[in-house]
Structure 1
Amino acid sequence: MQDLLNLAIRLADAAAAIIREVRAAGFAVAAKADETPVTIADTRAEALIVAGLRAAAPEIPVIAEEEVAAGRIILPSARYWLVDPLDGTREFAAGRAEFAVNIGLIENGAPVLGVVASPALEELHFGIVGQGAWRRRGGGTAQPIAARAPPPQGLTVMASRHYADAPELASCLSQYKIAALSNIGSALKFLRLAEGAADFYPRLGRTMEWDTAAPQAVLEAAGGAVLTMAGQPLRYGKPGWENPDFRAWGLR
């Protein structure tokens, strides 16, 4: 597992470098069939990641967002990679810093390893469930991270930027004592929970498995949990790779 983690870290770092290069040079934004945006940063980063994973571990299937969008169908197996080469393309295209590279490993329907690079922030979060989670900033040494128990003053909530005004969010949050609320994009919401900087991320809108596999693994490695609205762990290998609504927590 450590060798696979090192492989994913190396590829996430390389993909982050490609994304920074594209951003500096300028790029166009196109729309896929589902009307979500895509850029050359998405496709170049994905090509690097999937080639690296398949070369180093050919026995493990790779399911990647842009390949699926292009019609490449790979059925889930007992063990496989889920790759989102640029999670938060809308934020990337808008000039924000809230985008990430996600590489997650699934075993028997559960995320077990995750690497999330944040290219604009020059951060890397990674973890193996049951072994721990870490954060590396810039060229520094990785430091262990852990989710926290909610403080007495209430929950610090991370919510999606694009569902900020949804009445469903207000209804959900009305059930809890809330100390602070931030609306941000991409996998960074999970990471703030994993670091112990926030407590709760309710997701009340469409996500795909490649959006969540890597950051869920990091959060769970840090002691947190990602649960469906029925209170069950969020699992993988679902039809169409689509997630239900879920709630991500730090320590409860």
Structure 2
Amino acid sequence: MDYSSILPDVIKVADEASERVLHIYQSDFKVSYKADDSPITAADTAAHDIITQGLRTISRDIPILSEEGKDIPWEERKHWRRFWLVDPIDGTKDFTQRTGEFTVNIALIEDGEAILGVVTAPALHEAYWGLKGEGAHKRDRTGRVHRIRVAEPKAVKRVVASKNHLNPETTAFIEEQIGEHELVQAGSSLKFCRIAEGHADIYPRLGPTCEWDTGAAQAVLVAAGGKVETLEGQPLKYGKQDVLNPYFIAAGNWYIF
């Protein structure tokens, strides 16, 4: 499959989901809670429906794993060499708290690698996409599209983190491994995107995430010249039996783990 030829269609699907999400975001929506106490709204399910329908139109033979449709047995998933990985809304807490820093995420996984990713931020009117070997781009709130690239190394590292997930382990890592730094706040998968566009340098995540939280944004960051690796220095992989990610560090390509 020529992935560059389907990328515009994937962006269109993400935009359609984003439009619906923004409509709900601007309304008086209700918040429910899953069994693990994580929040969910009508926007999550609406985006899931739009994205899964759109992706099936693009490629009926590629299976889909979505956070809102994740109950697919491993006996079935283990045979997937290629699949779509979807987080209809990453940062539902940001959505419910109306910070605007939530995203819609679509990734294409092949042989464990995130090779194509689209990330939209509906409330910020921004979009990012990346394709392995083809680079990464951003569409800003004016509609202008431009190529993005990770920044050159600086003496004072700009560490991107989230107010919701800055735990003691992450704080200790920043102090011990990075040293002098400037803290850049960002929510959801936008943390990866801020590095991809050169506005931050490193994102250490020593806390729980799932594959759908990171796949699309990892594809964008890697296409922009960055990397995402485990604490052992291995690339963050996808399509595992356990969808939980190990701890990882996302950064510009110059950073040595």
Report the TM-score range of the alignment, normalised by the length of the smaller protein.
over 0.9
* 1:113 counterpart (103, 113, 116): 116
- Matched with 2:85 is 82
Q: How many residues align?
A: 248
Cα offsets for 1:6-31 (capped at 9, x unmatched): 12100110111001100112211111
Which residue of structure 2 aligns with residue 172 of structure 1? 173
1:160–1:183 Cα contact (<8 Å) kept: yes
- Using structure 1 for the length normalisation, give the TM-score: 0.95
CA shift digits 1:92-145 (9 cap, x unpaired) = 001111100000000100000000000011001001021100000135231000
Task: Work out the CA distance in 1 between the residues paired with 2:67 and 2:241.
Answer: 15
Secondary structure at the residue paired with 1:148? Answer: coil
Partner of 1:156: 158
Q: Percent identity?
A: 44
Q: Does 1:247 align with 2:249?
A: yes
Counterpart position of 1:59: 61
Q: Distance in 2 between matches of 1:72 and 1:129?
A: 27
For 1:49, the equivalent position in structure 2 comes to 51
Correspondence for 1:228: 230
Maintained 8 Å contact 1:159/1:184: yes
Distance 1:158 1:27, change over 3 A: same
Asked if the contact 2:149/2:225 (under 8 Å) is kept, the reply is: yes
TM-aligned CA deviation for residue 193 of structure 1 = 0.2
Does 1:93 find its partner at 2:84?
no
Distance verdict in 2 for CA 1:81–1:180, change over 3 Å: same
How does the TM-score come out when normalised to structure 2? Answer: 0.93
**3-state SS of 2:124 partner:** coil
Deviation per residue, 1:36-95 (Å, 9 max, x gap): 110000000110000110122001111011111xx3445151110000011000110011
Q: Secondary structure at the match of 1:189?
A: helix
One-letter code aligned to 1:155: K
Letter in 1 for 2:212: W
- Distance in 2 between residues matched to 1:177 and 1:184, nearest whole Å: 20
* Structure 2 residue aligned with 1:131: 134
Task: Please report how far the alpha carbon of residue 176 of structure 1 lies from its aligned counterpart in structure 2 after TM superposition.
Answer: 1.4
Is the 2:209–2:244 contact (alpha carbons within 8 Å) kept by the matching residues of 1? Answer: yes
Match of residue 35, structure 1, among 17, 23, 37: 37
- Structure 2: 5+ residue runs without aligned partners? none
